[in-house]
Amino acid sequence: MPSLLVHCCCVHCSAYSLKFWRQQGFQVTAFWYNPNIHPYAEHQLRLEAIKTLLSSTGIPVVMSPSYDTDRYFNTSGTESRCERCYQMRLEATATCAQENGYDGFTSSLLISPKQQHDRLACIGIEAADRHKVRFYYADLRKRYSDSRILTKAQALYRQQYCGCAHSKHQQNGGQTAN
């Protein structure tokens, strides 16, 4: 059975994504690396929700040893911030996949209708080429509500914004260019 490392951005996006890739015949492992999630308390709430979800599925998790916010803030200005965030997280996932012998990698970001799928796919393929590991793309946006239903049924934490300080500012009524 081929092994797949799935970058998990939050429990909303991860619940159905992990289920989908298992149904495709992969031995799935979750990967947690999200230095974009701000503040730290929010990061921890999302991490605990992922751990709770995974404890009921038997899916193992690999966690980055560092929250890495300094690197995130040093590389993600307001211009193209989402793209740089994708690059940082998918690069870390590809590196982990290569170093640990996974057959491929993907991201739960691919279920979100709010993400830039064309950019995610390009960045994933570029990271895969650099690390000699396959990037798996599936447009799961039509299943986003299924994932939210799964997390609601389990009473898992439901965040109100994408994760970064910019998206939190926007959610609170501020205007930040993307």
Question: pLDDT 10s per residue in the chain (178 long)?
Answer: 999 999 999 999 999 999 999 999 999 999 999 998 888 999 999 999 999 999 999 999 999 877 776 766 676 555 577 888 899 999 999 999 999 999 999 999 999 998 999 999 999 999 999 999 999 999 999 999 999 899 999 999 888 756 555 554 455 565 444 4
Please give the CATH architecture assigned to the domain spanning 3-171: 3-Layer(aba) Sandwich (3.40)
Q: Is 28 left (phi over 0), alpha (psi -120 to 50) or beta?
A: beta
pLDDT of residue 81: 73
pLDDT at residue number 78: 53
CA–CA dist 130, 98 (Å, integer): 10
122 is in an annotated binding site: no
- Domain map (residue ranges) of the chain: 3-171
CB within 8 A of 28, min separation 6: which ones? 3, 4, 6, 18, 21, 22, 59
Is residue 162 a known part of a binding site?
Answer: no
DSSP 172: T
The pair of three-digit structure tokens given for residue 150, joined into one six-digit string: 């799964």
pLDDT at residue 158, as a whole number: 82
* The two structure tokens encoding residue 177: 């260019």
Helix (H), strand (E) at residue 134: strand 134-135
